[in-house]
Structure 1
Amino acid sequence: MEMAERTPAKTPRQGRVTASMADVARLAGVSSQTVSRVSNGYAGVNEETRRQVLAAMKELGYRPNSAARALKRGEFRTIGVITFSLSSTGNVRTLEAIANSAAAEGYAVTLLPVALPTQDEVRGAFTRLEELAVDAVIVIMEVHLLDAATIMLPPYVQVLVVDSDAGEHYTVVDTDQAGGSRTAVRHLLGLGHRTVWHLGGPADSFAAQRRTDAWRAALTEAGCTAPPLIRGDWSAESGYRAGIELAAREDCTAVFVANDQMALGLLRALQERGRRVPEDVSVIGFDDIPEAGSFMPPLTTVHQDFAEVGRLCVRAVLRKMRNPDDGARGTTLVPTRLVVRESTAPPSGAR
């Protein structure tokens, strides 16, 4: 089918602000109903006709009215994601996994960053949801900021929380932080280290707290005394500062670090102070970032399956959207696994 003769109507380049469905139909030589079926992705349209309609849309700069389509379908096919930190490797990789999984299901993602982890900022993010066309919200944030008494959720918007212990109040998807931490500690004790030091994350992080609690519990179960906890802020710089402190301790032969970025800074500090890894000090990280195998030495670490976290988040929130009366709560844990590389070995006295 050939394109119909162009009408005198101006194209966007000629000064027309918005092309209508009728304009597309006239240019393509089809009915408005056919244009609607093409723009909504319905089957049953001849492929040649579909190409003609799409060419007319491109020529006129026509954009289907997604809001109108959403009203007809009862959904916007968009998921909002609220997070207060994009500097954390875990948050960024979780966000990427959610976006990829949502796209695979035909959904877009709208990011609502929160500048500061405060109640007012979080309340503002949920308020902005009322102005946006989203069907559901995935929150990557500390759960104590989600106070139902002060935050009004938009009606019919389903909420899922990542990295939280809010299973009694929300649907939660999380990595098995405790299981991964116990595996890391047991690996070091199994190599012959008498105890394991811990460089933990920020005190207000639930993930950091779970890793710290599991570290201490694993040492207690093994009959070992837990050394004093050292805290960082997830950054390589804080790992470096902690490494300077630990390098001065001859009794420190093994360190479990709460994330790989801090482990990177720790490795640098140990090297600068003449403590060899793993000959003098064994180091384990957490996350298994893509660069972990390129550290010097390659880092033994706990692998988090961010892709699976994203897939489960999207699957769970879509299930809630399709069954809004389902009041199911609880936490789904994604297993971790230890990736053994060259930064861990038996202590020098045990070789």
Structure 2
Amino acid sequence: MTAERTARQRDGGGASRADTRPLAGARRVSMADVAERAGVSAQTVSRVSNGYEGVIPETRDAVLRAMAELGYRPNSAARALKRGEFRTIGVIVFTLATTGNMRTLEAIAASAAEAGYAITLIPGSPTQSGIRNAFTRMDELAVDAVIVVMEMHLLDSSTVALPPNVKVVVVDSDAGDRYPVVDTDQADGTRQAVEHLLGLGHDTVWHISGPEDSFSAERRTRAWRETLERAGRRVPPVAPGDWTAESGYRAGLLLADDPDCTAVFCANDQMALGLYRALAERGRRVPDDVSIVGFDDIPEAASFSPPLTTVHQDFAEMGRRSVARVLAQLGSSTTDIGTTLVPTHLVPRASTAPPPR
């Protein structure tokens, strides 16, 4: 029998006040170790660990002190199995290269943490098999629900069948009528941008689009065209881009050579930055010769030269609403199908002005 154990016995089963050494060896500290150190039952340690009321303050303090002294960490997996929940939300994302996805993911993580949940991130390939594989991984990692952040239309396809027992919320895509969706009001944001330029006196508005397989890009292009048609204006050919500044630059070189082009709506702010460069190289000034509106309102937009007029997306609200919808599903036996649209608004800055006369 060790001197430490003898000392504890002389002290009536509790720990010596001077004895703050952790248990020797590499094994994980158990609840029984904490109970012995604190001089209480394992059941009391369990109640303190799980935050139950009814433990007198002195006993709770003794248990917490013993946990700290021994370096005890509660077995969260065992507690999750006992409660039937893991307090974890899975997030499937197919690219981290875009500003929108990164800021949406950041907002989801912050909102989940506020609700007492962690997130587990699973990157996946933007294919039907990639979606199925990502959900298989999520099932293995034991999450309570899943938020899918994607721009493609893959969830529209009848060939993609997500697990029926998994609570799912889709962000920034179209899920038909099968899953709850949270999205930015792409159409209204685009309408504001185009009407702003027409209101300044421009005859029409050119458009640098996002990639063809992007749901957001498709919605913005469609709204741009419909807004021009409602106003009875000519619809110029679309200049295709891929969200990058480089693609905005390439499209901009073509637009810069067209003297009729006096106003451009870019599907995101990075492509607007590339357009700035192309126009500068061709000797066309912003906004004196060409007015530009972007979409996203990235933090750097206000520091463009001149500061960029753009459509603001509230990514923090996107995160809050997507987490709120997935948590609402966890507390219900039914699924609330439908789309939640987060409002957008135009932020006028110095990159837009009446056309040259």
Do the structures match in fold with TM over 0.5? yes
Alignment of 1:6-25 (within 5 A): 11=22, 14-25=24-35
Tell me how large the CA RMSD over aligned residues is: 2.2
- 2:233 corresponds in structure 1 to 224
Give runs of aligned pairs for residues 35-74 of structure 1, distance below 5 A. 35-46=45-56, 49-74=59-84
- Shift of residue 74, structure 1, vs aligned partner: 1.7
Matched residues in 1 for 2:162 and 2:32: separation? 41
Provide closer, same or farther for how the CA distance between residues 7 and 85 of structure 1 changes in structure 2, counting only shifts above 3 A.
same
Provide the C-alpha distance between the structure 1 equivalents of 2:18 and 2:212, rounded to a whole number of angstroms: 67
Report the 3-state secondary structure (helix = DSSP H, G, I; strand = E; otherwise coil) of the residue aligned with 1:311. Answer: helix
Q: Deviations over 1:221-256 (max 9, x none)?
A: 111111110111111111111122211111110000
Residue 273 (structure 1) aligned to one of 260, 277, 282: 282
Give the length in aligned residue pairs.
343
TM-score (norm 1): 0.92
Equivalent-residue separation in structure 2 for 1:283 and 1:56 (angstroms): 63
Deviation at 1:306, TM superposition (A): 0.8
Closer, same or farther: CA 280–72 of 1 in aligned 2, 3 Å:
same
Q: CA deviation at 1:24?
A: 1.6
Aligned to 2:349: 341
List runs of 5+ in structure 1 lacking aligned partners: none
Could you give the per-residue CA deviations for residues 90-137 of structure 1, whole angstroms, max 9, x where no partner exists? 0111111111111111011110111x2112222111111121120000
Task: After TM superposition, list the pairs within 5 Å mapping 1:168-187 onto structure 2.
Answer: 168-187=177-196
The offset of 1:4, in angstroms, is 1.7
Q: How does 1:184-203 map to 2 (within 5 A)?
A: 184-203=193-212
Counterpart check, 1:247 vs 2:272: no
Alignment check: 8 A CA contact 1:161 1:171 kept: yes
| 1:196-345 equivalence runs, <5 A | 196-324=205-333, 326-345=334-353
**1:84 alignment partner in structure 2:** 94
Match of 1:135 among 131, 135, 144: 144
Tell me the amino acid that sits aligned with residue 286 of structure 1.
F
In structure 2, the CA distance between the partners of 1:242 and 1:193, relative to structure 1 (3 Å rule), is same
CA displacement at 1:25 relative to structure 2? 1.9
SS in 1 for 2:341: strand
CA distance in structure 2 between the aligned counterparts of 1:258 and 1:72, rounded to whole angstroms: 48
Identity percentage of aligned residues: 68
How far off its partner does 1:80 sit?
0.2
- Greater CA drift, 19-28 or 251-260: 19-28
Tell me the equivalent position of 2:15: 4
Provide the residue aligned with 2:105 in structure 1: 95
Q: Retained in 2: the 8 A contact 1:263–1:284?
A: yes
Describe the SS at the equivalent of 1:111.
Answer: strand
Classify the secondary structure of the residue corresponding to 2:141: coil
Give structure 2 stretches of 5+ with no counterpart.
1-13
SS of alignment partner, residue 244 of structure 1 = helix
For 2:10, the equivalent position in structure 1 comes to none
Query: Does structure 1 retain, via aligned residues, the 8 Å contact 2:169–2:322?
Result: yes
SS in 2 for 1:284: strand
Q: Give the deviation of 1:8 after TM superposition.
A: 10
Q: Deviations along 1:267-300, whole A, 9 cap, x unmatched?
A: 1221222111011110000011111111111110
